[in-house]
Structure formats: structure tokens, C-alpha cells
Structure 1
Amino acid sequence: MSEISWRIVDRRPLLPVLILSPDVNDLRTVDAVALVDTGATASAVTRDLAERLALPVIGKRLVASAHGDQHVDRYIFRIGIRLPREGEMPAFPFVFEAVEGFRIRSGFAFDALLGMDVLSQCDLTISGGQTGILRFG
């Protein structure tokens, strides 16, 4: 099982991730910062990230948020996590299976949302509100 730990800043569990196309033959990645959100049933990306990977819109989805209910674009994408390097060898990221996610607004301290569609495959620990540990694989 792999593990990554990170610092939680200002009580926001923000985790560096990679966003990838759902096509396993497409190795392009986009670096992103994801909010770890156990209250979200699905993961999400901003329109900018979706456009950078040329993700097609596959329809709309009704999403309930603090700003009210709204219909937003849906995308299929993969989420990857860089593994810590061991010695001189480069580490390949761990990449989860493709998920059907949705679009979130830009302008926050994050550009992706890591929801329960991915988190349910992991063990998540938050220690003292300052450190997050995610075990997966």
C-alpha cells in the first residue's frame, strides 16, 4: 500500500494531484491542487483544467453546493498522486481508475476536488488538523 502525507494549511486539506485524460494511452498530465472533500460524492475539476486536457463535456449534472443547486458540466478523467521518491529512482504516480466528475468554479485556493468516488478507495487520516495522510493502492 502506498502512502502520501502533507501539511494542512488554514484548516483546508489541500493535496497536490495530477489530472489525466481517461485514455490510458494519453500520458499528458496537469498538476493541480485538490481539496480533499469527504462531503462530495464525486470528484471535480475547473473548466481550465478540463480544457487543458481537451476533456469533452459528456452532459450536465445537478450539483448541490453552498451556492445552491445548479446544473454543471460533467467530464470523465483520472486522478493521480505522485509517490515519494526512494533513492535515485524516479517514482511513477499512482493513478486511480477514471471517474465521472463535474466542473467546479475557478477562483478558489484549489482547482480540483477529491471526492468520495476516489477517497472510498483510500484510508484517510487527519492528525490534529495539521497533517493529512492518504493510503491507497
Structure 2
Amino acid sequence: MPISYRLDPHPDDAELRALWQAAWSDAHPASFAPVLARSLVHAGAYDGAALIGYVNVASDGGIHAFLLDTTVHPDYRRQGIATELVALVTSAARARGAGWLHVDYEPHLAGFYRACGFRHTEAGLIAL
């Protein structure tokens, strides 16, 4: 069965928790509902009924949107799933009024985000 992609699927906490744990092996939000409530758009990748990829775009309520939590289950990586998810939410964010899509990433992910169309910019960060 081919991978399917869905805009705004609103996966439940159990689905997201399972994916998050498999992909990140660290603490996850107690509930993803507050995150999804602030989402301009999010997308899921599914193998049948199983959530195997996820990405979220938050918005400032204006023209700035922020790509967050690009996640693919380790068993499904290197198949273009993350690239497809980013393309899907990029198009939807544009259609929903975003003028800029920002992303923060670690240096080893620079090639991936460049291939998705992002260009490098200078940015500031304060660890809270």
C-alpha cells in the first residue's frame, strides 16, 4: 500500500506520542491538542492507518509561519516522506496567507532544508 498524505488530519495524542517516541526517543508534550490548536496547517503521512510522518506549521497570525516538528518514523526514513510533507504544508501555508515560512534546524539538516527550497539566513536565538 502506498504512503498517503493528509492535510490537517488532527491525529490523536496516542498516535503522535507513538511517532514522537519512535523518532525522537525523548519527552513529548503531554498533549498535542494545544499545539494543533495554534497550527496554521499540519500534515500527516500514513501507511494504511498508521501515522508514520508529521509536520506542523505555526503562524504569528500575520504573514510569518514557522515549520516545526518535521518527523518521520525511523523505519520509513530516506524515502522522500519528509520532503513530501514539507512541500504539502508549504503550499497550504501559502494558500492560507503566509508570506514567509521560517525553519530552524541543526547543521546536519542544512542539505535537506536547502533541497526543500529554504535558503540560509542569519537568525538570533535565546535558550529559555
Q: Same fold (TM over 0.5)?
A: no
TM-score for the superposition, normalised by structure 1: 0.23
Which structure has more relative contact order (CA 8 Å, sep 6+)? It is: 1
TM-score for the superposition, normalised by structure 2: 0.24
Q: Which has the higher strand share?
A: 1
